[in-house]
Amino acid sequence: MLPFTRPTLDTEEFEAIKEVLQSGWLATGPKVAAFETALADYIGGDVQLRVFNSGTSALEAVLLAYGIGPGDEVIVPAMSFVASANIIVRCGATPKFVDVDLISRNIDADAVAAAITPNTKAVIPVHFAGRAVDMDPIYQLAEQHDLLVLEDAAQAIGTQYKGRRIGSLGNPVCFSFHPNKNMTTIEGGALAINDPALLKKIEGIRFHGIERDAQGGMDVTAWGGKMNMPDVSAALGLVQLKKLDGFNRKRRALVERYFQQLPVHDALVLPADDAEGHSWHMFCILLDWEKTGLNRNQTLEALKQQSIAAGIHYPAMHLFSLYRQYGYKPGDFPNAERIGEQTLTLPLFPGMEEKDVDRVCSAVISLLNDS
């Protein structure tokens, strides 16, 4: 079975984990410090990096540190993994969904501008599947309306925007290192930022609100959670980070093969291949089920019969039961809803070979030819 994704792990990763297990220091320690330094060097731009037990925790910590809470609205795309909206609810604020572009699946400044109200305090652009959002006009809007911009780059480690890596500009940007991401720490995430005051609050939120003086004395002046990364994860991250650019180059080569093999067909919508610096976390196509004469479950089963697994990334968030309670309903965001209904995530990971792509494309083409 060819999975839709799989982490790329080798002897070096296993040895790094073994070293930590043998050291006796398994929780946050020297490997975490080294990983944060290595990430900061990789991202560039004189930012500081702090790692977390998940990308979700990193996003939540920023909203909490910024004081986002009841009565506040946060703009977020209707097409993303549900964590992008769940953190808003967790803080007591209200998610304000906006539609996305059908091809890039990203929001744009016009959608953000139309959603701003006097209660809007923040916007969370999501760099979907590793493709950078056009950030300059969004930052211009944020400056005009005094909004926090919190970039959800969970799927975009290594992505570039206008020649610079996402995260290098100093505003809060969060990454994920879940096993299905471009690099993994098993579970884990990170925050890139260069605001010392906000960073101090975030560090407290990350670990019980604990502050220490020069002599090691401890005080707790505000609430904090338990969001720290253990050394065993950081050790894995240090090895994976060295390989990340190579992983992303392989992803790009596999994607180019997809574009070469998949046909132009009125039932098929491909992602655009025109974004510089795209790290290609996923390769998501849209299939018009009415034109193919199949539904998604039948298509997934047909692929499974050929030992190919596919994913669904993602259902439109505003149609989940939780978010319908906020008044959202079918028809609110047509592009997000079409994507949610028609999306199919084809296999993409560095361990694949061109022959694997050819096999997937042959299966998809067969389905299209039968329609």
279-337: pLDDT as tens digits: 999 999 999 999 999 999 999 999 999 999 999 999 999 999 999 999 999 999 999 99
At 360 the pLDDT is 98
Q: What is the mean pLDDT of the chain?
A: 96
| Any domain includes 40 | yes
Q: Is the pTM of this model over 0.95?
A: yes
Query: Looking at residue 327, what DSSP letter applies?
Result: T
CA dihedral sign of residues 223, 227, 232, 236: negative
Question: What percent of the chain shows pLDDT beyond 90?
Answer: 95
Structural domain boundaries enclosing 286: 245-369
Q: Name the domain boundary from 239, 261, 279.
A: 239
DSSP string for 100-162: --TTT----HHHHHHH--TTEEEE--B-GGGPPP--HHHHHHHHHHT-EE-EE-TT-TT-EET
* Active-site residue, 181 included: yes
Report whether pLDDT(243) > 90. Answer: yes
Same domain for 105 and 150, yes or no, is yes
336 with 192, same domain: the answer is: no
Domains: count for the chain: 2
Say how many residues make up the chain: 371
Q: Does position 370 have pLDDT exceeding 90, yes or no?
A: no
* Tens digit of each residue's pLDDT (9 = 90 or more) over 24-64: 899 999 999 999 999 999 999 999 999 999 999 999 999 99
Residue 3 lies inside a defined structural domain of this protein:
no
Q: Which of 242, 294, 244, 239 is nearest to 268 (CA)?
A: 294
- Per the CB < 8 A criterion, the answer to whether 180 and 186 are in contact is no
Is 42 within 8 Å of 247 (Cβ atoms)?
Answer: no
d(CA 224, CA 359): 50
- How far is it, in rounded angstroms, from Cα 92 to Cα 111? 23
Helix (H, G, I), strand (E, B) or coil at 369: helix
| 105 has a pLDDT exceeding 80 | yes
What kind and span of H or E run contains 79?
Answer: none
The answer to whether residue 5 sits within a structural domain is: no
Q: Is position 277 within any domain?
A: yes
Residues 152 and 122 placed together within one structural domain of the fold: yes
Catalytic residue among 96, 121, 181, 201: 181
Q: What angle do CA 223, 226, 229 make, to 5 degrees?
A: 140
- Residue 276 is predicted with a pLDDT of 77
Q: Is the pLDDT confidence value at 187 over 80?
A: yes
Question: Of 223, 239, 255, which marks where a domain is finished?
Answer: 239
Beta-sheet pairing, 210-212 with 218-220: antiparallel
Helix (H, G, I), strand (E, B) or coil at 99: coil
Cα–Cα distance for residue pair 32/234, rounded to 1 Å: 5
Amino acid 275: pLDDT: 65
4 located within any domain? no
